[in-house]
Amino acid sequence: MRIGIMIGATGAGGGISDIVEQARTVESSGFDNLWMANIFSFDAISALTLAGWETTRIGLGTAVTPTYPRHPTAIAQQALTAAAASGNRFSLGIGLSHRIVIENMLGFSYDKPARHMREYLQVLGPLVRGETASFQGEEYRVNGVALQVPGAHRVPIIVAALGPVMLKLAGELADGTTTWMVGPKTMEGHVVRTIVRAAEAARRPSPTIVGGFPVVLTNKPDEARDAIAKTLAIYGQLPSYRAMLDREGAAGPADIALAGDEATLRGAIQRIAGTGVTDFNAAIADPDPEVYRRTFEFLASLAAGK
C-alpha cells in the first residue's frame, strides 16, 4: 500500500511557495503521493502543476476537484498540462461535491448527480487518453474535440465515490476512487468490493483505491478525538459522508480517525492495507506544529519501510 499526505484541506495556510516547499518535503521524506484538496482557496490542479515542475518522483493528485463548475474539456486541458509539467505523475481526482455547495452556493442543479458524472466521464475519459471526444447527452453535447498537449500522456481519473451507483460508475469508466469518512469495515465490505466487481465486469484493470483518514500520533487519543470531533463536525452532517459513517456504526468523524501511539497507528494502517486500499492518504488532523511534525515523521518512516 502506497502512503501519501493530504494538504490544503483546511485552507491556504500560506502561499504558493509554501505548497511547492511542502511538495518537496513530502517527496524527500519518502512518501509516494501528495494529494491536494480543492476548496475555496488555491486551485488544486494549478498548484500541483507548479509542484510537479519542482519535484521529480512523487505522485501528485487532486482529492478532489468538483466537476460541476468546469466543463470536462476545460478540466481535461488543465489535467494534461499538469501531467506535462510533472513528467506524467499527475492523477485527476474529481467529485460531485455536495448539494449545499453545488446547488445552494453555485446555483447548478444537483437533481441527477449520477447522470451528470456518467456524462462527464464519457467526455473526459477520451480527452485525457489523447483521443477525440464525441458525445451527445442531456448535459453535455461535444462534437469532435481533441486536445494536443506535448509531453502529456494518459491521465488517470480517480472519482470520489461512496454510494453503490457512483462506485459502479468509477469501476466502469474511471481508474479508481478516493474516499473520506469511510471506516475499514465499510471500506472492505462496500467500497472495495463494489468498485472491484464493477471494474472486472467492464474488463478494466484493478482500480486504484485511495483511502483518506484523519491521523494524529498522540499519547492522549481521547483528547485528540475530542478535537477532531469539533474540527471535522461538518463531515458528519453531509449526507454522503453520514451514510458511510452510519454503515460503519460510527457516531461521527472522530470514530474513524486514527489517533494513538506508534503501535496503535501502525496496527490501524496495517488493517486498512488489508481491506484492499492501494493508497493510504493521511490528513494529519492536529494544527499544533510539533504534533504535526511527529505524526509526519512517523508516517514517513512507514512509507520508507514498506
H or E element that contains 66: strand 65-66
Q: What is the rounded CA–CA span in Å between residue 199 and residue 185?
A: 21
Residue 7's pLDDT band, with cuts at 50, 70 and 90, is: very high
Bridge partners (DSSP) listed for residue 211: 179, 280
First vs last Cα of the chain: how many Å apart? 8
Residue 163's pLDDT band, with cuts at 50, 70 and 90, is: very high
Q: Are 280 and 3 in contact (CB under 8 A)?
A: yes
What was the pLDDT predicted at 183?
98
H or E element that contains 153: none
Across 129-134, average pLDDT: 98
pLDDT at residue 306 above 80? no
What was the pLDDT predicted at 31?
98
pTM across the whole model: 0.97
- For the chain, the domain total comes to 1
- For residue 170, which of 157, 182, 181 has the smallest C-alpha distance? 157
Residue 188 dihedral angles phi and psi, to the nearest 5°: -75, -50
Q: What is the rounded CA–CA span in Å between residue 211 and residue 253?
A: 14
What was the pLDDT predicted at 287?
85
Query: Identity (one letter) of the amino acid at 20?
Result: V
**Three-state secondary-structure class, residue 165:** helix
Judging by DSSP bridges, how do beta strands 133-136 and 141-145 pair with one another? antiparallel
Residue 178 exposure: Cα atoms within 13 Å on the Cβ side: 27
Q: What is the rounded CA–CA span in Å between residue 183 and residue 45?
A: 28
Mean pLDDT of the chain: 96
User: What is the DSSP annotation of 169-208?
Assistant: HHHHHSSEEEEES--HHHIIIIIIHHHHHHHHHTT-PPPE
What was the pLDDT predicted at 8?
87
Model confidence pLDDT, tens digit, residues 189-204: 999 999 999 999 999 9
Residue 14's pLDDT band, with cuts at 50, 70 and 90, is: confident
**Residue numbers of the domain that contains 71:** 2-305
Model confidence pLDDT, tens digit, residues 86-110: 999 999 999 999 999 999 999 999 9
CATH assignment at residue 159: 3.20.20.30
Q: Lowest mean pLDDT of 246-250, 274-278, 283-287, name the range.
A: 283-287
Model confidence pLDDT, tens digit, residues 144-155: 999 999 999 999
What was the pLDDT predicted at 13?
63
Q: What nine digits make up the cell of 75?
A: 478540466
Percent above pLDDT 90 for the chain: 96
What was the pLDDT predicted at 264?
98
